[in-house]
Structure 1
Amino acid sequence: MRRTVALTSVIALGLALAGGVSARAAAGTDAVPSAEGFDFGAPQVVAQGLQVPWGLTWLPGGDALVAERGTARLLRIPAGGGAPVTVGTVPGVSPVGEAGLLGLAASPDEWVYAYLTSATDNRIVRFRLDAIGAPQAILTGIPRGSIHAGGRIAFGPDGKLYAGAGDAGTTANAQNPASLGGKILRLNPDGTVPSDNPTPGSLVYSLGHRNVQGLAWDAAGRLYAAEFGQNTWDEVNLITPGANYGWPAVEGDGNDPRYVDPLVVWSTAQASPSGAAVAGSTLYVAALRGTRLWTVPLTADGGTGTPAAVLQGQFGRLRTVEVAPDGSLWVTTSNRDGRGSPTSADDRILRFPPTAVSGGSPAGE
């Protein structure tokens, strides 16, 4: 587990170079923050006064679409800048605790996909923006609870829809192949099972997860997932189809051949990782309890270098991070989620402009 209309404005804040805490053996050491591709000293406020912005995606024309977790509102932010406009409210959302209207993903054929909590389950629906009131459920039956909802969805470079589904507070879900909880799921856009999934007839792409809320692909098509630990270790994992990542038997490194060890671990106080995005050769991970943005260097063989932190303590709890079509990096705060200390401007969406050394944009959504 660990408001409303906003004006576009540029705020002049200095970059706080945070002492990074790295994976595994290097934990506790200081590191120089990596700012590959983005100017973290020039944040721009895209929107403010929001209520727990969670999902963030881009429509085919370049506009941003944002989901508020508890209100179930969808907000559209024009590609050229300007105040967010309320598009509508997604029906059937029953927010509880960490659950509500969560991840968003837009497809090129103008469907908008949403991961949401209903009165009975977590599910994935899709709708047209001109018909928000009539969503089409493409997957139901993901376990529902007030904690560990997962909720991140994204289209991979293969055109399939991926979803991080939490264990909903029932740890046994993660190792139960018949449960959709505690998994990364892989779907065709219509919700059917891809023929090349690891287990025929099953949506389960990987298992043994506690609460995945970050999904991102590098230029080679490798999938990285950010995952909340329980009391000790948060994780970044390189996802292999059909692999088991150990929860609840393992938190962090297990050194057990039955399970895949993470690439990166942080203490829960330093991370509580939510959204993730790849730009160039860097994985960016938004940290809630850690109140920072982690930068994780990626190596050519799918490994990682020493993580470093930027924005430490500057904006409070950070929930979602995405690379925009114009190459900038967008980050949402989550200070009104009941665990933060909101300012009058919260919650906010921040934009960090690209620099001349940008290494490119992510292969995934």
Structure 2
Amino acid sequence: MSRPVVRALWGAAALVLVAGCSSGTATGEGPGAAPSASVSATPSAPSASSSASAGGRVSVAGTLTEGLKSPWGLAELPGGDLLVSSRDERTITLIDGRTGAKTVLGEVPGVVPGGEGGLLGIAVRDGRVYAYLTAASDNRIVRMRYGGGEGDRLGPPEPVLTGIPKGFVHNGGRIAFGPDGMLYAGTGETGRTGLAQDRESLGGKILRMTPEGRPAPGNPFPGSVVYSYGHRNVQGLAWDPEGRLWAAEFGQNTWDELNRVEPGRNYGWPRVEGRAGKPGFVDPVAQWPTSEASPSGIAYARGAIWMAGLGGERLWRVPLSGAERSGEPEAFLTGEYGRLRTVLAVGGDGLRLVTSETDTRGTPGPGDDRILRLEVR
């Protein structure tokens, strides 16, 4: 089940994508040039499949399912089954939470895959599946009826929010319902860096809206779904028990970030990357060289944020406390399962981890891609 750390073919795939970005820019989902500066999040030396620390231990309990193609979003249904989206195949698949049996619920119409775009994040609420997808003209959020009964299939998509900028890269794509019942979405600036600082644009933002797509009550900018701005490419959203929102963000050539997100704040891109200490911009709580992270999905479990790394091919644990961070980040599963796309907290103490070797940038092996069962203690 384990795999070698070194993947020579990845570099060739990264070079292809860089050609689609501005000169000297690291890709949104791969490692950039390793900086000469000191590392802010240095991994300890966990064993191959588990590690003990002062605050937590994670182990792979087994593989729930395998043979997935370009999996991206993951959501849990009330009974414990899972839904997983395929970025490139445009499908949503039901995964039995006990046996891992797969049932394709259907193809989502209107999805136009390409580059980092396609059928991305999904969320479940009140008998509907919400999906963030790349369409012909934009990125958008839609919702589909799904009762979850035996033999049930997805209903036709109903637009929730349209007009999110799209590009070959930096499409964002993570969506999640917060503890306030509102729908949040992480977007990218599509390689057009100016969009991140433009509060009239939906690109390079974290958005907050009602389940119907209207600006949520209490948003910082009246009449707008924009919740925070100055982001490059947000792909991870999670809340801790205190209701604080955390977001993982791709850097360019220097630092990837974990941010604590507050309404109306400016997170700096493209004016700053990583910790800058400049007035008017919020510094990240933790940062990593882009070769060690390329962060995608995040989840909260057992006092920590868990962050899946694509280019870094590892699972990061960032311990939290009332004062935001209580210890140094630790790396787990480094190089064992390749690119890691999404992590989801289930059943209180468990995690489900989605690999991403079939997304055109990995080196797929037998069984890829898969959903792993993780135990956190």
- For normalisation by structure 2, the TM-score amounts to 0.85
Q: Mind listing any 5+ residue stretches in structure 1 that lack a counterpart? A: 1-10, 356-365
In the superposition, relative to structure 1, how do residues 349 and 96 fare at CA in structure 2: closer, same or farther (>3 Å)?
Answer: same
Deviations 1:90-146, CA, capped at 9 Å, x for gaps: 111000101100000001x11110000001000000011256351100100000111
Alpha-carbon contact 2:186-2:207 (below 8 Å) kept: yes
Conserved? CA contact 2:111–2:135, under 8 Å: yes
CA deviation after TM superposition for structure 1 residue 32, in Å:
5.0
Match of 2:13 in 1: none
Contact in 1 for aligned 2:302/2:376 (Cα 8 Å): no
1:27 aligns with 2:40: yes
Is 1:66 aligned to residue 70 of structure 2? no
- State whether structure 2 residue 281 is matched by structure 1 residue 259: yes
Structure 1 residue corresponding to 2:95, chosen from 58, 77, 94: 77
1:203, distance to aligned residue in structure 2 (A): 0.4
Distance 1:191 1:122, change over 3 A: same
Matched to 1:292, the amino acid is R
Provide closer, same or farther for how the CA distance between residues 325 and 179 of structure 1 changes in structure 2, counting only shifts above 3 A: same
Aligned-pair CA distance for 1:29:
4.4
Residue 168 of structure 1: CA displacement?
Answer: 0.9
Distance 1:239 1:316 in 2: 29
Paired amino acid for 2:123? A
Q: Where does residue 358 of structure 1 map in the other structure?
A: none
Instruction: Give CA deviations for 1:203-262 in whole Å, capped at 9, x if unaligned.
Output: 000000000000011000001100000111000000011000000011111211110000
Match of 1:104 among 122, 126, 130: 122
The alignment of Structure 1 onto Structure 2 pairs a total of residues equal to 335
Equivalent position to 1:127, from 141, 144, 164: 144
1:269 aligned counterpart, secondary structure = helix
Q: CA deviation at 1:52?
A: 1.3
1:289 aligns with 2:296: no
Distance in 1 (CA, whole Å) between partners of 2:273 and 2:56 is 32
Which region of structure 1 is more displaced relative to structure 2, 320-329 or 208-217? 320-329
Q: Which runs of 5+ in 2 are unaligned?
A: 6-33, 147-151
1:8: which partner in 2? Answer: none
Distance in 1 between the 2:240 and 2:375 partners? 20
Shift of 1:327: 3.5
Distance 1:122 1:312 in 2: 32
Residue 118, structure 1, aligned to residue 135, structure 2: yes
| Alpha-carbon displacement from aligned partner over 1:43-72 (angstroms, at most 9, x marks no partner) | 311111111110000112221000011001
- Deviating beyond 3 angstroms after TM superposition, the runs of 4 or more aligned structure 1 residues are 24-30, 32-39
| Distance in structure 1 (CA, Å) of the matches to 2:156 and 2:96 | 24
Cα deviation digits, residues 293-330 of structure 1 (max 9, x gap): 00111121223521110000000000000011363211
- Between the aligned partners of 1:311 and 1:337, the Cα distance in structure 2 is 19
Distance in 2 (CA, whole Å) between partners of 1:26 and 1:337 is 28
Q: Which residue does 1:136 correspond to in 2?
A: 158
* 1:194 corresponds to which of 208, 216, 228: 216
1:38–1:328: 8 Å Cα contact kept in structure 2? no
C-alpha separation in 2, matches of 1:271 and 1:231: 12
The reply to whether residue 86 of structure 1 matches residue 99 of structure 2 is no
Contact 1:275 1:319 in 2 (8 A): yes
- CA drift of 1:37 comes to 5.8
State the Cα deviation string for residues 263-309 of structure 1 (Å, max 9, x = none): 11100000000000000211100000000000111121223521110
Structure 2 letter corresponding to 1:230: Q
Q: Note closer, same or farther for the CA distance 1:259–1:304 as it changes in structure 2 (3 Å cut).
A: farther
Within a 5 Å distance, the mapping from 1:174-189 to structure 2 comes to 174-189=196-211
Tell me: CA distance 1:215–1:244, structure 2 relative to 1, closer, same or farther (3 Å): same
Shift of 1:39: 4.0
What residue is the counterpart of 1:361 in the other structure?
none
Change (3 A) 1:26 1:186: same
Q: Report deviation, 1:31.
A: 2.2
CA-CA distance at 1:73 after TM superposition: 1.0
d(CA) in 1 for partners of 2:141 and 2:42? 41
Structure-2 change in CA distance of 1:269 and 1:82 (3 Å) = closer
| Paired amino acid for 1:81 | T
| SS of residue matched to 2:325 | coil
Alignment partners' CA distance in 2, 1:157 and 1:27: 30
Residue number in structure 2 paired with 1:310: 332
| 1:362 matched residue in structure 2 | none
* Alignment of 1:145 onto 2:167: yes
Distance in 2 (alpha carbons) for counterparts of 1:29 and 1:115? 33
Contact preservation (8 Å) 1:64, 1:76: yes
